[in-house]
Amino acid sequence: MEYGIVLPIILILVSVVVTFLLAKAIRIFVLISRFDGPPALPLVGNAHEFKSDQREFFVDMTTLMEEYRARSGGLIRMWLGPVPSLVLYKAKHVEVILNNSRHIKKGYLYKFIEPWLGLGLLTSWGQKWFHRRKMLTPTFHFSILQSFMDVFNEQSMILVKKLEKFAEKSETVNIFPLVAYCVLDIICITAMGRSSNAQENSENEYVKAVGRMSELVTIRGKNPLLWPDFIFDKLKSGKEHKETLKILHGVTNKMIQERLKESPKDTNTDDDDVDVVARTRKRIAFLDLLLQMHREDASFTLGDIREEVDTFMFEGHDTTAAAAGWAILLIGHHPDVQARLHMEIDEVFGDSMRPVTSDDLSRLQYLTCVVKETLRLIPSVPSIFRKLDEDIMLDGKVVPKETLVALSIYGLHQDPDEFPNPERFDPDRFLPVNAEERHPYAYVPFSAGPRNCIGQKFAMMEDKIILASILRRFSIKSIQTIDEAKPAGQLILRPAEGNMLVNLSRRK
């Protein structure tokens, strides 16, 4: 008797759930279909059009964005398998997402970064993100960054000395890996408190592992068939992912344990302590500050520390190296820009090779414009993603909850309405007189709003010191154009074949 009652109830509940899910899916389909976009196939959506070659994928996406810039004003509707997606690359649309603290949940692609970075500052959301952001902000206090200046200078000068032999022999040099090794040593010292000696050991496995992990995550994200772990883990790429992850976590775990044994017992960052740091130039690693937080709050575990160290190592290494590398390549193609840089640098430093100071950086205004224009033309992070937790309005249409919003920073920076003749490299765009009328969300190389990059000041200081150190000693002539270096659409906009070829000559 009871069985006869339970079964109809179960059937009714199942019917209600199925009806609810079907109605929800139909609503999403109807609303998202009101936006213009390329035709999609059932189940796979537009994923079948995504080339496995990262360079081809990047070229195809830039071509598609140019086509729809005229058709729909910087909006493209796409389907990534069963996931509805909207690509945004107009400032007024991007602002709706970035300038709202309710839209901070990252998109599906970040799920595939979680095995590496966990739920740290880059990948977390909600209260965990708000708490973690508030907790970590003091670690990027200006006075703490000041204590890193000697690291930036020391490692930049090692790079300059390595470049000397190429200049002496007039040999063509692939600048990208050399800059990447320099940046890795900087990040390891500032984050971990010890050098990786990457500049002395060019076969550094961590550098290779970061690049390969970025490729694997991107490949997986573009193919819905690889999303389920039980499929991906059994494939060759999944097994390689596991081995690469072992290298990445092995490096950070080892350094955390070593630093835990020798870390200073008190690295508080209240005002008095910050003054001491600034005055004595004491070198306190990011990891030391995290370990102090761990001592003061046991709920901030060693696992949490590894999440943030891995995040800082990834975001502070690959992105900064790419920006400096692309800047060198662009400077080497524009003699007029290079001449102005040399003039500015000579006015600040003369013939001296003394360390760069923070006061020097404030005087290198044209160099700042060059770095900013590089990040406009070739942003280190070409796209960021958000998953909507509520409906929003764009161009008078409803974008339904659960849509994946892809904010194309590359496409945004190519908007001719904001940047006339956008393919031209013109650092003067960022002179104050030329930038003051620009839409505040037209240029967001470090994102913007509540989830902007916490380390952007660190990155700008680092890149400017590296570039200033090179330009004080050398003149640059690029052998490759940007297109020949083949920017590739991965997590970071890297050269597809790892090459940025230049000739260096010693300045007279």
Residues contacting residue 219 through CB under 8 Å, at least 6 positions apart: 52, 226, 237
In angstroms, the Cα distances linking 472 to 199, 467, 475, 506 are 20, 8, 8, 9
Q: How many of the other CB atoms lie within 10 Å of CB of 131?
A: 12
| Selection from 171, 156, 159, 162 nearest residue 503 by Cα | 171
Report the b/e string of 206-224 with b at 16+ CB within 10 A: bbebbbbbbbbbbbbbbbb
Quote the CA–CA distance of 94 and 74 in Å, as a whole number. Answer: 10
- Alpha carbon 204 to its chain centroid, in Å, reads 21
Per the DSSP assignment, residues forming a β-bridge with 506 are 474
Q: Looking up tokens 């490949």, which residue turns up?
A: 219
Annotation-wise, does 453 bind a ligand? yes
Please give the Cα distance from 137 to 318 (Å, whole number): 21
- Token output for 269: 């960052």
- The span from the CA of 368 to the CA of 490, in Å, is 26
What is the CA angle 145-147-149, rounded to 5? 80
Structure tokens at 87: 């690509």
Cβ atoms of 324 and 466 closer than 8 Å: yes
Write the CA distances from 129 to 116, 280, 286, 451, 456, integer angstroms.
17, 33, 18, 9, 18
Question: Beta-strand (E) ranges in 354-447?
Answer: 383-387, 392-394, 397-399, 404-408
List binding-site positions for heme: 453
List binding-site positions: 453
